[in-house]
Amino acid sequence: MSRRQVLSLLPAAGLLAVASPSRAAVGIDHARLLANTVAIFAGTPDVNTRPEVAGKLAAILGTARQRLAAMDQAGEGELFAGLRLGTDDANLRLAFQYLYEIALATRTPGSQLIDDLAAQRRVADGLSWLHERHYGDQSAGYYGNWHNWEIGISTHVSRTLVLLADRLREERPDLTATYIASMDAYLRTGKNGDVDLDSRFHTGANLADITANRILQGALTGDDARVGKAISDQATVFATIDPYNLRHGVTDGYYRDGSFIQHHSVAYTGSYGRILLTRVVQTLKMLQGATDDGGADLASVVYRWIADGFAPLIFEGWMMEIVKGRAVSRTATGYADVGVIVEAIADLADHVEAGDALALKKYVKHLPAADTAAFVSPVSIAGYAAIRADSAIPAADLNPPERCVAFNAMDRTVHRRPGYAFALARSSDRISKYEYMNGENLMPWFQGDGAHYLYLAGEDQREVYGVDYYTAVSPYRLAGITAPVEERRTVPELYGRFWYDNPGHPLNFTSSSESQNTYVYFPRGGNAFSGGATLGAYGAAGMVQSDDAAYTAKQADILPDDFVAYRNARATRSWFMLDDEIVVLAAGVSGQGGRAAVTTVDSRIAAPGDAIALTGEGWKGGAWQAGDTAPPRWLRYANGTRGTAVGYAFLTRQPVGAGLETVTRSRRAVRTANPDTSVTKNVFTASVTHPATGDVPALAYALVPNATEARLRGYADGPLTVLANNRHVQAIKHETLDIVAANVFADGPRHAGRLLIDGPASVIVQSGERTTVALSDPTMRRDRVSVVVHGAPLRLGTADEGVTVRRVPGGTLIQATTRHAHGRTFTATLR
């Protein structure tokens, strides 16, 4: 293994050796650290003369002038006009942000406010005013969201103190120390005013934010110990999470398979993951030349995050929905998400080895041009522009053209081909079904129950996904899910506030309690089976659908009487991801409790004016039309305006409801803080109803991206065969690819074509000149998984460590030791 690969797998102890407090505290150049920080946010005289930075400079100046005008217009009891303080912690955070934005303009070379003494004094006066009236009193503070008090406010204050360090040292020598003492006092989820690595709040992106602030605070006061400990604490976020040997009980962070988790059980690469990425790269820039260790080892770890964690989740410059948690309900787009990541990638290229740096620069050129107006740093804008303009750097994806990635540690799968990408969201007793919080993502109930997102090449994803998808599409009809037929109410509708409040109950339900997390904000499922295997660029995934933790606890009389919990539908689900199609199987489907259930084959949105055509054919060859009750053999959705299409080849016979509906709904329906903007979309839905009588317990179909009608007709004669589809086994065969893929959900042995699989497992076998076998344990609980390939005996060619092969009567036994593999795929090649 390369040194870089070794580093990506290092436990926390190894990384702490890279940045221990004693080592980090040696040779710290505080002045250089502060100068680096100013350059990050304000730019430099050389950089700020570049034309591509002009827009950023104008934005910095324009924002500062707006804030100064708001100060001029402030009324009684206000620092900024219209920003009422005293009961709203978000407004207090904004007040500190506005002061930072004024201070930034006074330190930005090229700004008309550069070194403006009056503006800087107004900022200092504002800091003093806020501390005296709204921040300094510890007994009065800390209402609302903990994040504002421990991270949001401290971030703006720390950066403002850095920007005005010289001015404050001359004119307000006590202000910096006063604020640092208060920021320490507000770090209430820590220990003794410092980071507590055992705190559930001090993990992942949150920890990176807190420690970055404390590095700046230490540099301002020349406190080597503070800076050293903050660097050491932040170094823990670089450690690959080993779920079988947790340090400080932390499950938040990056896993061996590229997964990223925050909030203990939420798949979060696209939101908290990018925040963490931004912060650690900024820290590398802050420390450059200011410490003896340049951080190259840690930068190499971050490179792996990009290549294995982020790149698979970015499709043509769009961050996939499956890893954004509650952020899917925000109006910022997936393109804007990637813009933040691109800035970090361009910066990281200056800190890694030459080969990795070139790969990152190629990837920057491969991605669509980013909106640099959203970049934080003028220096980053200049660096990014230089990369894009360098003709010696060819564009190249970090992903191979064909790739299937099993992010089993966070119950996600991404399947990529040149014309499309398929993203799948699952859940389990390890990973949350969804995330709701603070009035965001109000109707999330089925987002982790097999919801899929099929991204087509050349599409403007803002027109088919993003906040408008969740706004226009019914939460009970998200693409890919099986949901019971019922109506649910949002948390604010149920309880009249953003959370369930019951501090007097033994479970202590408050806005940020663990019980709130467990049962309201991001409940996990009750199923162990969620995962799959990959064989090269092919993949299999399965899931047993379950109730969430809240419903299970309610049935056990653990929760209060007025706590509302909803029962889920039941289904055993499989997805087999090939070249031209994704085959979906569902069995054992039931709405439970006398309810029907609905499986949504697909839901897609389009602009009202787009030319949408729905075509299809029945099993007897006649044309299908919307409203037909006869089972279709295939359907095709085509957007003529955008030149895209998706086909649906049905492998079982059942009625399918499919049609178009014009939907108008406010974006506020999915997030209370969204603007009350109405969205009108043409919504296509294809679904199968499972009556409460149990008449349609199973179905099978193939999603066919970019399908033509001719191709869909071809499925009548192959190449797909369903080998099994029940609660115990789901398996398919693809004749052309010579692939048999199966998920076994029950104790074995179980048959799937010529395979005999022992107990719960996911298996893919591809035959040909050689036979390749891939297998995994989706339950993550088994010590070993085995499969017998019937037929002529095969000899071992190559195999992963932990795989054994031997002949048995009637075939060849392949066995993998899966103990503590956390769902990883094991592969053997046989002759």
| 395-444 pLDDT tens trace | 999 999 999 999 999 999 999 999 999 999 999 999 999 999 999 999 99
Q: What is the dihedral of CA 726, 729, 730, 732, to 10 degrees?
A: -120
Check whether 294 has a pLDDT greater than 60.
no
> Taking a C-beta distance cutoff of 8 angstroms, is the pair 334, 465 a contact?
yes
DSSP character at residue 410: G
Q: How many other CB atoms sit within 10 Å of the CB of residue 35?
A: 18
pLDDT at 18: 45
Check whether 588 has a pLDDT greater than 60.
yes
Q: Average the pLDDT over 214-239 and give the result.
A: 96
* Alpha carbon distance 259, 310 (integer Å): 9
Check whether 737 has a pLDDT greater than 80.
yes
Per DSSP, what are the bridge partners of residue 420? 417, 456
pLDDT at 747: 94
Which phi and psi angles does 574 have, rounded to 5°?
Answer: -140, 145
Q: Average the pLDDT over 535-540 and give the result.
A: 98
Q: Which residues contact 695 (CB under 8 A, 6 or more apart)?
A: none
> Taking a C-beta distance cutoff of 8 angstroms, is the pair 713, 555 a contact?
no
DSSP character at residue 311: G
Q: Average the pLDDT over 135-159 and give the result.
A: 94
Pull the structure tokens for residue 227.
């800076």
Spatial strand order in the sheet of 720-725: 720-725, 729-734, 739-744, 761-766, 771-776, 826-830, 796-799
Instruction: Work out the pLDDT band at 10, boundaries 50, 70, 90.
Output: very low
Q: How many other CB atoms sit within 10 Å of the CB of residue 199?
A: 19
| 243-270 pLDDT tens trace | 999 999 999 999 999 999 999 999 999 9
| 355-382 pLDDT tens trace | 999 999 999 999 999 999 999 999 999 9
3-class DSSP state of 32: helix
Mean pLDDT of the chain: 95
Pull the structure tokens for residue 646.
């998706």
pLDDT at 633: 97
**Rg for the chain (alpha carbons), in Å?**
28
pLDDT at 120: 98
Nearest Cα residue to 691 out of 596, 570, 568, 601: 596
> Taking a C-beta distance cutoff of 8 angstroms, is the pair 471, 667 a contact?
yes
> Taking a C-beta distance cutoff of 8 angstroms, is the pair 590, 690 a contact?
yes
Amino acid at residue number 59? A
* Alpha carbon distance 230, 226 (integer Å): 6
pLDDT above 70 as % of the chain: 96
Instruction: Work out the pLDDT band at 293, boundaries 50, 70, 90.
Output: low
Which phi and psi angles does 239 have, rounded to 5°?
Answer: -75, 135
Instruction: Work out the pLDDT band at 4, boundaries 50, 70, 90.
Output: very low
Helix and strand numbers (H, E) in the chain are 23, 33
Peptide bond into 749 cis (omega under 30): yes
Burial of 408 (0-12, 13-18, 19+ CB in 10 A): buried
Instruction: Work out the pLDDT band at 674, boundaries 50, 70, 90.
Output: very high
Burial of 184 (0-12, 13-18, 19+ CB in 10 A): middle
* Alpha carbon distance 741, 753 (integer Å): 9
> Taking a C-beta distance cutoff of 8 angstroms, is the pair 544, 530 a contact?
yes
DSSP string, 803-820: EEEEEETTEEEEEEE-TT
| 268-290 pLDDT tens trace | 999 999 999 999 999 999 999 99
* Alpha carbon distance 320, 323 (integer Å): 7
pLDDT at 295: 63
* Alpha carbon distance 537, 413 (integer Å): 12
Strands (E), 435-567: 451-456, 482-484, 530-535, 538-544
* Alpha carbon distance 604, 744 (integer Å): 31
Q: Average the pLDDT over 334-341 and give the result.
A: 97
Check whether 60 has a pLDDT greater than 80.
yes
DSSP string, 132-148: IIIIS-TTT---S-HHI
Query: Taken in order 80, 83, 89, 94, is the CA torsion positive or negative?
Result: negative
> Taking a C-beta distance cutoff of 8 angstroms, is the pair 705, 646 a contact?
yes
Which phi and psi angles does 766 have, rounded to 5°?
Answer: -120, 125
pLDDT at 239: 94
Query: Taken in order 199, 201, 206, 211, is the CA torsion positive or negative?
Result: negative
Check whether 20 has a pLDDT greater than 90.
no
Q: Average the pLDDT over 57-84 and give the result.
A: 97
Asked which of 136-150, 158-172, 541-555, 594-608 is least confident by mean pLDDT, the reply is 136-150
Strands (E), 714-799: 720-725, 729-734, 739-744, 750-752, 755-758, 761-766, 771-776, 784-790, 796-799
pLDDT at 627: 80
* Alpha carbon distance 260, 431 (integer Å): 11
Which phi and psi angles does 734 have, rounded to 5°?
Answer: -115, 110
Which phi and psi angles does 811 have, rounded to 5°?
Answer: 170, -150
- Per the listing, tokens 């407090």 go with 21
b/e per residue, 417-454, with b = 16+ CB within 10 A?
beebbbbbbbbbbbbbbbbbbbbbbbbbbbbbbbbbbb
Length of the chain in terms of residues written: 831
Q: Average the pLDDT over 700-720 and give the result.
A: 96
